[in-house]
Amino acid sequence: MTDAAASLAPRASLRRALGLRTVVTTSTGLAFAALEYLAAAGLVTYVAGDSAYIPIIVAGALALLAYGFFGELNGMFPTAAAVRLYMQRAMDDRVALTITFTYMSTIVLVIASDAFIVGSALAHAFGEPAWVAAIWIVGLLAVAVVCNLRGITVAGLLQDLATSVVVLATLAIGLLALVRSGHGLHTPFAPLHGHSAGDLFEAIALGVFLYSAFEWVTTSAEEVRKPESIQRGMLIAIGILCVVCCVATVAMSHTLTHHELTSAYPQLYLGVAAIGHSGLWVMAAVTAVTALNTFNGGFITASRFIYGTAREGSLPRQLALLNDRAVPWVPVVILGTVSAVVALVVAVTHAWEVLVAVGAALEGMIYAVAGVCAVRLRRRQPDTVRPFRVPALAVLGPIGIVLFGLLALTASVSVDDKFNPAPLVIIVLAGVLSALYVLKVLPGMRAKEAARRAARPRRRPGRPVSEDPLGP
Amino acid sequence: MATLEELGEAYAEWRGRSNGNPRLTKMVRGWDRVIQFRTTDNGLGFSMRVENQQLSELDTGPIEECDVVVTGTSEDFCDMFWGDLNPSEKYMSGEITLQGSQEDVMRIDAISMVAFLDA
C-alpha cells in the first residue's frame, strides 16, 4: 500500500449486515405500531359502509410518492444522518433544524400512544378498571427505558418474527371476522354515501398515517448488505401495509359498532368478532408485540439522533452523555419520561384521536418537506450520484408537495369527523418552541462552544490541523 | 494529506489514551470488533481490533471481513486520533461515512469522545 494510491483501498465485507427480509420487516414493523389500529378504526368513521379500503389504496398511491422522495434522498445520502444532510443542503439550516426537531416529536407521540394503547388493551383484556392502564403504561415504559439503558436491543431475527406475527395475525383475524360475519359488504363502492368530499380527504389523510414511519428504515442504510435493499424493502412494506390495512379496516367497518370503533382498543373487539373470546387474548398479545418494535425502533432512532445532534453542537452537550454501556442515557430517560407524561395525559383525557390527528398531520408535513428537498436538490446538486431517481419529479414533486401539505392541514383541524383545531395548536406550539430554540438559544450555545474549542490547545503536533478543528 | 506514518503516530496516541482509560475499557466490555478505516484522499486502508477491552495496534495489511468501515480523509482521521476533531460533526455533515450497525458506530464515537474527556 502506498500513499500515492489513486483509488480507495478495497473495502472489507461486513460480518453482520441486514438483508432484504430484515429491511422489509423493519419498515413494516415501524409503520405497524399499535396506533395503527386506532387510526384504521378512526378512518372507518369518515367513509360510508365498507369502503374504507378506497382511501387506503389512494393513500398507498401517495405513500408510493413519498417512497420515491425518500428513495431518491436516501440514495444520495445513505446514512442514519440523512434527514439532517438533505434538509441542510436543500434549505436554510435553521429551517431544517426547526423542522427536524418538530418531526422528532412524532417519535415521542408514537411511543406514548403505543404505551397508552397497549396499557389500555391489557387492562381491558384482564378485566381491570381503566385506571390500571396507567400502571401498565408506566410499567411498560419503565421496562423499555431500562432495556435501552442496558443496551438491550431487539435482534434482527426477533424483529422479523415479531413483525411477521403482528402482520399475519392481523390479516388472519380480519379475514376471519369478515368470513364469520356471514353477510355481504355494505356499499363497498360508495365512500361518499352520507359523507362529504372533505370526509374522504380526511380519511385519505388518516390512510397516509397508516403507512407512516415506513421511511424510518432509511436510518438503517449503513447496515445493509446491498444499498438497494432499502428502496426495495420500503416498496414491499408499502404493499404489505396496504393489504393488511385494507382487510383490517373493511373487517372493522363490517363487524364493529360505532362505540367499539371509537374505543381505545378496537382491535380487541375485532379479535372477538373473528374467533370469539380467545380472539381478545390473541389481539391483546399482538398489540403487546407491536410495542416491541415501536419501543426498540423509536427509542434507538430518537435517542441516537438526539445524541448525534448534541455531539454536532446543535443541542446541549448534556444530551451526549454516555453511560458505561455507551448508551446516551439522558435522551433515553427524557424520551421515556415525556412519553409517559403524554400517554398518561391521553389516558386521563381520552384524547387519543387528537394524537392520531397530530401524527397524521406531522407525517403529511414531513412527506411534503421530503418532496421539497428532492425537488430543490435536483437543482442545487444536479451532479450528485442518485442510485434511485423519481421519474418525472418536475411534475410529481410539486403534486406531492401540494397534496401532502393539504392532507397535513386537513388532518390538523379535524378530530373524529368534527372540526377541531387541537392538533394544529399542538403542532404549531411544537414548531414555535423548536424555532425559538433554533433562533434564540442555539446561536449563543454555538458561540460558547466555538470559544471553548478555540481556547483549547491543539494536540496534534508539528503541522496545522486540516480545518476548523473541533474537539470532542 | 497525512502519511501512513502520521496516521500511525496519531493512532498510537488514541490507543494509548483509550487503553489507559478505565471508563472506556468498561464501555467496550464484551464488544470485540474489527474496524476498517479507508481514506478518500490518498487511498490508504488500515484496521484496528478491539479485543478483551483493548485496542490493538494499527494493522495496515488487507482484511476480508470487519464489523465497521469508516471512510474519510487522512487528515480527518489524523485529527480524530489526536482528539482535535469531533467525528460526529464530520459524520453529521457527511464528510465521514460509515458502514456498520448503529450500535457499533456509537461505540466508536464513544471511544473518540471519552478518550479525550479528561484531557
Q: Do B40 and A84 touch (CB under 8 A)?
A: no
The secondary structure element, H or E, covering residue A309 is helix A277-312
A365 vs A104: which has the higher pLDDT: A365
Which residue, among B9, B97, B99, would best test binding to A if mutated, counting the most A CBs under 10 Å from its CB? B99
| A30 domain residue, yes or no | yes
Q: Does B5 touch chain A (CB under 8 A)?
A: no
Contact flag B44-A9 (C-beta cutoff 8 Å): yes
Q: What are the Cα distances from residue A138, in Å, to A263, A336, A361?
A: 21, 9, 27
A452, part of any domain: no
pLDDT tens sequence across A248-271: 999 999 999 999 999 999 999 999
Beta-carbon neighbour count of residue A137 at 10 Å? 27
Domain that holds residue A197: 20-445
- Domain carrying residue B50: 4-114
The CATH number covering residue B109 comes to 3.30.1050.10
Q: Is residue A470 situated within a structural domain?
A: no
- Decide if pLDDT at A16 tops 90: no
Q: How confident is the model at residue A103 (pLDDT cuts 50, 70, 90)?
A: confident
How far does the CA of residue B65 sit from the closest CA of chain A (Å)? 5
What is the reported pLDDT for B116? 79
Q: Which residues in B lie closer than 8 A to residue A466 (C-beta atoms)?
A: 73, 75-76, 78-79, 85
Confidence at residue B112, expressed as pLDDT on a 0 to 100 scale: 87
pLDDT of residue A442: 94
pLDDT at B118: 52
- Residue B96 is predicted with a pLDDT of 94
The answer to whether B42 contacts A466, with C-beta atoms less than 8 Å apart, is no
In B, which residues are within 8 Å of A470 by CB distance? Answer: 84-86, 89
pLDDT of residue A173: 97
- pLDDT for A4 beyond 60: no
Percentage of chain A lying above the pLDDT 70 cut: 96
Confidence of residue A464 (pLDDT cuts 50, 70, 90): low
- Closest-CA distance of chain A to residue B60, Å: 8
Nearest residue in chain A measured CA to CA from B100: A223
A60-74, A305-319, B102-116 — which one is most confidently predicted on average? A60-74
Cβ distance of A77 and B94 shorter than 8 Å: yes
Q: Tell whether A102 is covered by a domain.
A: yes
Q: Which tens digits make up the pLDDT trace of B39-82?
A: 999 999 999 999 999 999 999 988 999 999 999 999 999 999 99
Tell me the average pLDDT across A291-308.
85
Q: Is residue A167 part of a domain?
A: yes
How far is CA A249 from its chain centroid?
Answer: 20
Contact A81, B103 (CB under 8 A): no
B23: in domain = yes
> To the nearest 5 percent, what fractions of chain B are helix, strand and coil?
40, 25, 35
Reading phi first (left if > 0) and then psi (alpha if -120 to 50, else beta), residue A49 is in left
- A316 at interface of B, judged by CB pairs closer than 8 A: no
- In this complex, the residue of A7, A9, A311 whose CB is nearest that of residue B86 is A311
Quick: pLDDT tens for A362-400.
Answer: 999 999 999 999 999 999 999 999 999 999 999 999 999
Give the whole-number percent of chain A exceeding pLDDT 90.
Answer: 63
For strands A13-14 and B65-66, give the pairing.
parallel
Q: What is the mean pLDDT of residues A93-115?
A: 88
In a domain, A463, yes or no: no
**Residue A21 identity:** R
Question: Which of residues 255 through 284 in chain A touch B, CB cutoff 8 A?
Answer: none
Residue A472: per-residue pLDDT: 46
The model's pTM is 0.90
Per-residue pLDDT for B10 more than 80? yes
Contact A469 B85 (CB under 8 A): yes
Q: What are the chain A neighbours of B12 within 8 Å (beta carbons)?
A: none
Task: Give the Cβ contact number of residue A1 at 10 Å.
Answer: 14
Does residue B64 form part of some domain? yes
In a domain, residue B119? The reply is no
Least confident piece of the model among A139-143, A269-273, A466-470: A466-470
Res. A467: pLDDT tops 70: no
Q: How far apart are alpha carbons B115 and B111 in whole angstroms?
A: 6
Residue of B69, B87, B113 with shortest CB distance to A11 = B69
Taking the Cβ of residue B54 and every Cβ of chain A, the question of whether any pair is shorter than 8 Å is answered with no
Residue of chain B whose alpha carbon sits nearest to that of A93: B93
Confidence of residue B31 (pLDDT cuts 50, 70, 90): very high
Q: What residues of chain B, 23 to 52, have a C-beta less than 8 Å from chain A?
A: 23, 26-28, 31, 34, 36, 38-40, 42-45, 47
How many CB atoms lie under 10 A from the CB of residue A361? 25
Give the number of domains in chain B. Answer: 1
Provide mean pLDDT across the span A326-334: 93
Residue A381 included in any domain: yes
Does the pLDDT value for residue B104 go beyond 70? yes
Are B79 and A469 within 8 A, CB to CB? yes
Chains A, B: CB contacts within 8 A come to 173
Averaged pLDDT score across all residues of chain A: 90
**pLDDT value at residue A463:** 61
pLDDT digits 0-9 by tens, A219-233: 899 999 888 999 999
- Per CB-CB distance under 8 Å, the chain A contacts of B97 are 79, 222
In a domain, A456, yes or no: no
Residue A113, all three cell numbers = 400512544
Q: Find the CATH number of the domain harbouring A172.
A: 1.20.1740.10
Out of A53-57, A235-239, A283-287, B20-24, which region has the weakest mean confidence (pLDDT)? B20-24
**pLDDT, mean of residues A169-180:** 96
Using CB atoms, pick whichever of B43, B66, B84 lies closest to residue A459. B84
Query: What integer is the mean pLDDT of A207-228?
Result: 91
